[in-house]
Structure 1
Amino acid sequence: MQWLRVCCLWLLLPWQDITAEPLQLVDTLASLQPQAAAPSVEAQLVLRVLRQYPSPYTLVDISRNRAREWTKTAGNACIPWLRKTAARERDYLFTLPYMLESAITLVSLPQSRWHTQLEQLQDANGNISLAQLLQLKRPPLIGIELNRSYGDRLDAVLQQNQGHPAIYTRSTAGEFVGSMLPMLHKGFVDLMLEYPKIAARSGSALRYWPLAEAEPYNPVHFACSRTPQGEKIVALLNQSIRHQATSKDYQQLLLQSFAETERGRVLRDWQHMLLTP
């Protein structure tokens, strides 16, 4: 019944008859190529949205840094799987969220010497405050990735502690999400910030520590050229996202990274996000 009400509300939203607009999708896109084996959930969701896109599109597989510059200067380019921030909105137009990620966590190796200290910092809910962790006299070295957003509250903590000796930031952006993992495994950093789903792809045993400042879920968008062409593309992608969102298969893919007990709330919250005109 709730989903029926949401669908009816969508029918009341302004529905534009938009002229077809070719799209260039740019980023490290190997997982979207036809020859890709066992595409990830993120790739499957993007491909399902593109399946409903009513115009031709091309995949441009380039580095993440180049993709961001390309989209700023091209008229009709978009980057998938990007979080929306105020700073990024100055450079890009964003679609509705087509995916939600679960909360960012601290990640450690299972044999880390920091476990006892981390357990002492856990609150009644098992969460650790990143701000409190950084206030330790001798905190662990925490790895983060350049030009990546971890959510408003975590970004604020990292910004307030910019230059802190316990925060290691890669001098160049990684070419894929989770590119800090090799540094954790080699002991160059003690902890890192990452989604559990991404970290688990290393195939190694890891331990995950919930963060007090982490958002319960993270909306993911397409970021598109800030041009008249980009505006049309965003409108067309939004139509496709809303169409796919009525599919039970799509919903199940989107909710995979969440615990069973969270899925009802997450789905309802996402439905309300999609009501934005």
Structure 2
Amino acid sequence: MRQSAGWCLIITLMLMQCSNSPLQAEPLQLVDTLASLKPRAGEIPAEAQILQQLLSLYPSPYQLVDISRNRAREWTKTAGNACIPWLRKTAERERDYLFTLPYMLESAIVLISLPDSPWQRQLEQLQDHSGRISLQQLLLLHRPPLLGVEKNRSYGAEIDALLLQHHKALYTRSTAGEFVGSMLPMLQKGFVDLMLEYPKIARRSSTALRFWPLSEAEPFNLVHFACSRSAQGEKIVALLNQIIRQQAGQPSYHQLMFKTLAPAEQAAALHYWQQALTITPKAQTPTAH
């Protein structure tokens, strides 16, 4: 009896020790749909530098998965230990993926036109005192512009709801391969009147463009990893969250994130991001695969 009790005590102490120990490493498959970690000519974009820094701190091997953006999300659902970086979190997506804390943010989504757009005068008339345009007012015009949007992208909860409501005023296409901002050629060729995009993506085009801030846009776009909804995915999210929290206090990490933001936005952006990091993630039940 004493021997049995002794073994029970040893097992109990071992379990307590395990519960207090750091999270165990978990291999990760990174679905790099933007090819941000592939060698390329020119300066490495800030989002790729941030991703590289986070992955350099990940305590287990990771594998890059080369798969098109159109297939990546379905594949990640069943992979078990995969994550997609640079994704916006929505209520609908949370049903399919486990999301990390936001690891960076970007400037708000904007409406984009060509400088000589026939819609310029109308857009100027719709601007409020702060220079913003209501997308709802624009789409409620008797003859609204043809707005180009990409299928399966989220532009923020309020804008997504408006796009669903006014779908007849939209030109929709699937995002092609690794190219985010694939609606730009459609705008350049006059197939659409206006489009929605992040300023940093649009600025990579050689075409002159005009940006119009939207009153329905979120102040900043929070960027997350979306991971497989599984027991493995849950461990990976916990590990990534640890790294994100560690980097959140590093000025060098802030400077990387600021590369995509205008100087006037940086203080507000840092406050917005740090507030988002303090929100306790909801308990998420993984789905067994």
2-side partners of 1:239 and 1:150: how far apart? 28
Q: Deviations over 1:101-157 (max 9, x none)?
A: 111111011111110111111111111111110111112111000000001111111
Report how far residue 15 of structure 1 moved: 8.3
1:265 aligns with 2:254: no
Counterpart of 1:82 in structure 2 is 87
1:138 aligns with 2:140: no
2-side partners of 1:247 and 1:204: how far apart? 36
Counterpart of 2:284 in structure 1 is none
Task: Please give the root-mean-square deviation of Cα atoms over the aligned residues, in Å.
Answer: 1.7
Q: Deviations over 1:152-198 (max 9, x none)?
A: 11111112223x1x21111x333222111111111111110001110
1-side partners of 2:218 and 2:175: how far apart? 23
> Which segments of 5 or more consecutive residues in structure 2 lack a partner in the other structure?
1-18, 281-289
Counterpart of 2:207 in structure 1 is 204
Deviates more, 1:173-182 or 1:54-63: 173-182
Deviates more, 1:20-29 or 1:221-230: 20-29
1-side partners of 2:41 and 2:233: how far apart? 28
1:170-185 to 2 correspondences below 5 Å: 170=173, 172-175=174-177, 176-185=179-188
Indicate which of 18, 25, 28 corresponds to 1:23: 28
1:57 aligns with 2:62: yes
**Could you tell me whether the CA contact under 8 Å between 2:34 and 2:180 is conserved in 1?**
no
Counterpart of 1:7 in structure 2 is none
Name the SS for the 2:225 alignment partner. Answer: strand
Return the letter of the residue paired with 1:178. Answer: G
Change (3 A) 1:37 1:31: farther
**Could you tell me whether the CA contact under 8 Å between 1:103 and 1:214 is conserved in 2?**
yes
Q: Deviations over 1:213-232 (max 9, x none)?
A: 11110101000000000000
Deviates more, 1:192-201 or 1:30-39: 30-39
**Could you tell me whether the CA contact under 8 Å between 1:23 and 1:233 is conserved in 2?**
yes
1:214-225 to 2 correspondences below 5 Å: 214-225=217-228
How many positions carry a matched residue from both structures? Answer: 261
Counterpart of 1:161 in structure 2 is 166
Change (3 A) 1:89 1:36: farther
Name the SS for the 2:142 alignment partner. Answer: coil
Name the SS for the 2:204 alignment partner. Answer: helix
Return the letter of the residue paired with 2:87. Answer: L
Identity, % of aligned positions: 67
2-side partners of 1:107 and 1:44: how far apart? 27
1:228 aligns with 2:231: yes
1:68-107 to 2 correspondences below 5 Å: 68-107=73-112
Return the letter of the residue paired with 2:43. Answer: A
Deviates more, 1:130-139 or 1:36-45: 36-45
Runs of 4+ in 1 over 3 A off after TM superposition: 34-37
Deviates more, 1:83-92 or 1:245-254: 245-254
**TM-score (normalizing by structure 2):** 0.86
Deviates more, 1:60-69 or 1:25-34: 25-34
Counterpart of 2:243 in structure 1 is 240
Name the SS for the 1:107 alignment partner. Answer: strand
Return the letter of the residue paired with 2:144. Answer: P
1-side partners of 2:60 and 2:73: how far apart? 22
**Could you tell me whether the CA contact under 8 Å between 1:24 and 1:77 is conserved in 2?**
yes
